[in-house]
Amino acid sequence: MSTIDLRKRVHLFLVFLTLSAHCVAGATEDPEGVALNILDAQSIPWDERFRLGSKETSKGKLLYSNNEGSALFYVEFSPGWTAQNTERHYHNFAEWGYVLDGNFLLYEFVSPNQEKGTLVDMRQGTWMYRPAFSIHGNRGDAMDKQRVTPGSTQLLFVEGGKNYTLDPSSKRYTEDWKSVKQFTHPHFQHTARPSIMEWEEDGELPGVLMKLLHDEMSGGFRAKLRYAPPGWTYSKTPAGFYYNQAQRFVYILNGDLKINSSLASNASSESQIVTKDFLIEQPPKSIWHWESGPLTQSGVMWIDVTYARARALVMDLLSNQKQLLSIRKR
The full set of domains in the chain, from first to last, is 4-25+43-190 (2.60.120.10), 200-323 (2.60.120.10)
pTM of the model: 0.84
Kindly indicate the confidence band of residue 61, based on its pLDDT and cuts at 50, 70 and 90. very high
pLDDT at 85: 58
pLDDT digits (tens, 9 = 90+) for 163-189: 999 988 888 899 999 999 999 999 999
Q: What is the pLDDT of residue 23?
A: 30
CA 307 to chain centre: 10
| 259: pLDDT strictly greater than 50 | yes
Secondary structure letter of residue 212 according to DSSP = E
- What are the backbone dihedrals phi and psi of residue 8, each rounded to the nearest 5 degrees, phi first? -65, -40
| pLDDT, tens digit (0-9, with 9 covering 90-100), for 125-171 | 999 999 999 999 888 777 777 766 678 999 999 998 999 999 888 88
Measured CA to CA, the distance from residue 52 to residue 16 in angstroms comes to: 22
Measure the CA–CA gap between 52 and 316, rounded to whole angstroms. 45
C-alpha angle 154-34-222 in degrees, rounded to nearest 5 = 40
φ, ψ dihedrals at 144, nearest 5°: -65, -25
